[in-house]
């Protein structure tokens, strides 16, 4: 079979499989797997965001936990104020409506990504990796030290936020939201990649000097991609906080940044469905090996090492070969 057709079918299997999992789980009355599929969808969503910066633009951000955690805290803090009735900053009241929370989460993540991007994109290589890490660490330590919203202990979301027409307390409805967001994000990713913007962005990853020589400034294109990337990951963070009904500084920790990179790589960096494949593997690994041994991360480490050393295209790369840009 032609390789691009293989990738198409693989993507279809992933998308349908993710939807089928909770359906089957409900039929056999195993609600745990519905939540699990929701986790996969949200991790995949976060990684789609990172994939835009990392996979298309070649920006190795080691600080995407910043946007994930920021989104999470937006959901937590707005819900907290809606529950207590106390206004937030500037007299704004909180909200328990996801349709209000998500735009705020995305907007704030985008703004922070804009600032981080402007300051970081002047550097490259290891310096870029480390400065993005530094900004995420700043937020991490600030969240730990700032007592108003729980500090180190985190902040519970006492009642899950609402979405019109759905009962978000039902695991199935929560899954639908996450799945819908993921599908939209994948569509946006595909659209950006195929457009002129994506053509410039992917070219910058490969040869920024050449791109400048034809008259496109790499900085602006990379910055725009970085901002959109942060927004998508921020949305995922808000959803994850609602799924867990809890947000804590651990969402901002560098482990999360590392895990998001791992998800992208396991699936296939830069590939449209790489984040979904990677998230499925990551969460699946946690469930399967986590049930067998508490040291499941040991085996994850071995697999990851093997993938990096011997299978650089990730799962999608192994099955569907290298990507082509005809």
Partner 1 sequence: MSLALFIEQLLNGVQFGLMLFLMAAGLTLVFGVMGLINLAHGSLYMIGAFICAGVAAATGNFWIGLAAGVAAAAAAGAIIEMTVIRRLYDRDHLDQVLATFALILILSEGTSMLFGPFPLYLSRPDSLAGTVHLGFGFNYSLYRLALIGFGIAVAVGMWLLITRTQLGVRIRAGESDREMIAALGVNIKALYTVVFALGAALAGLAGALVGSIQSVQVGMGEPVLILAFVVIVIGGIGSIKGALVGALLVGVIDTMGRFLLPRLFDLLFDAGRATDIGAAIASMLIYMLMALVLILRPKGLFPAHG
Partner 2 sequence: MAEPVLELAGVSKSFGALKATDDVSLTLVPGEIHALIGPNGAGKSTLMALVSGRHAPDSGHIAFRGRDVSGLSVAQRARLGLGRSFQVSSLIPEYSARRNVMLALQARQGHSYRMVWPVGRDRSLTEPAQAILARVGLEGRASVPSETLSHGERRLLEIAVALALEPAAFLLDEPMAGMGAEGGRRLTAFLDTLRAEAPILLVEHDMDAVFALADRISVLANGRVIATGSVAEIRADPAVREAYLGEEEGA
* Residues making contact with partner 2 (CB under 8 A): 191-192, 194-200, 202-203, 206-207, 209-218, 220-221, 224, 323-326
Residue from 323, 55, 27, 38 nearest 189 by CA: 55
Q: Which stretch binds partner 1 (CB under 8 A): 73-81, 125-133, 179-187, 196-204?
A: 125-133
Report CA-CA distances (Å) from 222 to 70, 97, 214, 225, 251. 21, 33, 16, 5, 25
Based on CB atoms, which residue is closest to partner 2, 214 or 292? 214
Sign of CA dihedral 179, 183, 189, 192: negative
Contact residue for partner 1 among 75, 200, 240, 300 (CB under 8 A): 300
Report CA-CA distances (Å) from 289 to 128, 262, 300. 34, 17, 9
Residue 285: contacted member of partner 1, partner 2, none (CB under 5 to 8 Å, by partner type) = none
* Element holding 271 (H helix, E strand): none
Residue 194: contacted member of partner 2, partner 1, none (CB under 5 to 8 Å, by partner type) = partner 2
- Give Cβ neighbours of residue 94 (< 8 Å, ≥ 6 apart): 77, 78, 79, 80, 81, 82, 83, 84, 86, 87, 88
Q: What is the DSSP string of 125-164?
A: THHHHHHHHHHHHHHHHHHHH-GGGTGGG-EE-SSPPBBT
* Residue 155 found at the interface with partner 1 (CB under 8 A): no
* Residue 258 found at the interface with partner 1 (CB under 8 A): yes
* Residue 148 found at the interface with partner 1 (CB under 8 A): yes
Q: Is the separation of the CB atoms in 94 and 80 below 8 Å?
A: yes
Residue 262: contacted member of partner 1, partner 2, none (CB under 5 to 8 Å, by partner type) = partner 1
Site string for partner 1, 59-98 (x = CB under 8 A): -x-x------------------------------------
List of residues contacting partner 1 (CB under 8 A): 54, 60, 62, 119-120, 122-123, 125-127, 129-131, 133-135, 137-138, 141-142, 144-148, 254, 258, 261-262, 265, 269, 295, 297-298, 300-302, 304-305, 308-309, 312
């Amino acid at each position: 079979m032609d390789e691009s057709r293989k990738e198409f079918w693989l993507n279809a299997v992933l998308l349908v499989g993710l939807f089928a999992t909770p359906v089957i789980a409900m039929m056999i009355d195993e609600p745990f797997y519905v939540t699990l599929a929701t986790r996969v969808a949200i991790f995949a969503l976060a990684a789609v965001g990172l994939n835009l910066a990392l996979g298309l633009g070649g920006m190795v951000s080691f600080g995407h936990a910043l946007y994930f955690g920021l989104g999470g805290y937006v959901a937590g803090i707005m819900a907290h104020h809606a529950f207590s009735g106390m206004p937030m900053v500037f007299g704004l009241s909180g909200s328990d409506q996801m349709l209000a929370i998500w735009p705020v989460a995305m907007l704030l993540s985008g703004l922070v990504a804009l600032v981080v991007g402007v300051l970081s994109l002047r550097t490259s290589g290891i310096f870029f990796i480390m400065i993005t890490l530094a900004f995420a660490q700043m937020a991490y330590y600030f969240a730990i030290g700032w007592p108003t919203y729980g500090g180190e202990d985190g902040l519970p979301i006492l009642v899950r936020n609402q979405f019109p027409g759905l009962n978000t307390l039902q695991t199935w409805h929560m899954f639908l939201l996450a799945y819908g967001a993921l599908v939209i994000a994948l569509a946006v990713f595909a659209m950006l990649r195929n457009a002129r913007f994506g053509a410039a962005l992917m070219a910058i990853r490969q040869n920024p000097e050449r791109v400048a020589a034809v008259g496109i400034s790499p900085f602006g294109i990379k910055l725009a991609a970085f901002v959109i990337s942060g927004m998508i990951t921020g949305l995922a963070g808000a959803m994850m906080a609602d799924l867990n009904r809890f947000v804590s500084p651990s969402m901002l920790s560098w482990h999360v940044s590392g895990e998001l990179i791992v998800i992208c790589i396991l699936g296939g960096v830069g590939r449209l469905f790489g984040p979904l494949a990677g998230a499925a593997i990551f969460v699946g690994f946690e469930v399967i090996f986590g049930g067998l041994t508490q040291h499941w991360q040991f085996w994850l480490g071995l697999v990851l090492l093997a993938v990096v050393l011997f299978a650089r295209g990730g799962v999608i790369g192994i099955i569907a070969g290298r990507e082509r840009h005809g």
